[in-house]
Amino acid sequence: MEVVIAPDAAAASQVVADVIARVVRSRTAPVLGLATGSSPLGAYSLLIDAHRRGELSAAHASAVLLDEYVGLPIDHPEAYRAFIRRQLVDGIDLPASRLFSPDVNADDLLDACHRYDRLLTELGGVDVQLLGIGADGHIGFNEPGSSLASRTRLKTLTRATREDNARFFDDRQEDVPRHVVTQGLGTVLEARHLLLIACGAAKATPIAEAVEGPVSAMCPASVLQLHPHATVVIDEDAATGLRLAGYYREAYEHKPTWQEL
Ligand code: GLP
């Protein structure tokens, strides 16, 4: 795992946007794994800026979502499909028909989950999977206790996550769906590159547990330690709980120029 400590959230977003742009430019049919939440928004807006300047085209790319709420009306603005269209896809030239998300309205939800896992394989796998991290260490919507080998499935959100996400629902926790479909941790691990971004003091504890704690279902993000190519991009505030912060800084500063993130 590589840990990049950027001076602030803007610099962290730039690092992430640069990695995604490189994947889009270098592959003939890139598959981007997109995350929701507030953490990736800075990177998304940098990608939109690059597209507007004529420096980035995603017309040949596909995108897959990590997770989706169950039970929201199909046109609800906080459905993750609507969120990601607003925050990224509609601002670049990625065809909306190439944006994939779990079919949470299927009559047979279990079958829809299996189909989503199959779809990721049929697309040739995810080239880079962007991730945020929840206060309890969740990635996607894999709450603590999630099997490290889990596949796309239905999950029940913890009360704490529903409280956290109430900010997107006019602070009405009762409006935050209780159920979600999320890629499993085993599914996420199949992406070729995992790229997690976290900024701010509230992320310091989950980041310390994910990066330097034991690999455990109690901190789902710790599963990144099992991946051969995982990059954790954080700002100074999110780095305060890391014992090896000095080492990560030194390693990044002296990174060989031929070695990409
Ligand atoms: C939600 C999303 C996660 C995201 C997390 C953190 O629960 N399902 O993918 O990482 O929120 O959100 P934020 O980035 O807003 O802190």
pLDDT value, residue 74: 77
CATH code for the part of the protein at 2-253: 3.40.50.1360
Q: Which tens digit of pLDDT belongs to each residue from 73-96?
A: 878 999 999 999 999 999 999 999
Sheet containing 194-198: which strands, arranged edge to edge?
2-6, 230-235, 194-198, 128-131, 31-34, 62-65, 99-100
Q: Is 68 a catalytic residue?
A: no
Distance 239 CA to ligand 1 centre (A): 18
- Average pLDDT for residues 169-181, to the nearest whole number? 97
| In the chain, % of residues over pLDDT 70 | 100
pLDDT value, residue 254: 97
Q: Is 107 a catalytic residue?
A: no
pLDDT value, residue 49: 98
Q: Which of 68, 117, 136, 209 is catalytic?
A: 136
Q: Which tens digit of pLDDT belongs to each residue from 92-125?
A: 999 999 999 999 999 999 999 999 999 999 999 9
Domain ranges, ordered by start, for the chain: 2-253
Q: Which of 117, 143, 164, 236 is catalytic?
A: 143
C-beta separation of 37 from 132 below 8 A? yes
d(CA 112, CA 94): 24
Q: Which tens digit of pLDDT belongs to each residue from 2-26?
A: 999 999 999 999 999 999 999 999 9
pTM: 0.97
pLDDT value, residue 73: 86
| In the chain, % of residues over pLDDT 90 | 99
Q: How confident is the model at residue 232 (pLDDT cuts 50, 70, 90)?
A: very high
C-beta separation of 89 from 99 below 8 A? yes
- Residues in contact with ligand 1 by the CB-under-6-Å rule are 35-39, 66-67, 132-134, 140-141, 161, 165
Q: Which of 51, 67, 193, 236 is catalytic?
A: 67
Mutate to test the pocket of ligand 1, among 84, 155, 164 (most ligand atoms within 8 A of CB): 164
pLDDT value, residue 175: 96
C-beta separation of 43 from 13 below 8 A? yes
Helix, strand or coil for residue 161? helix
Q: How confident is the model at residue 235 (pLDDT cuts 50, 70, 90)?
A: very high
Q: Is 136 a catalytic residue?
A: yes
C-beta separation of 66 from 187 below 8 A? no
C-beta separation of 223 from 147 below 8 A? no
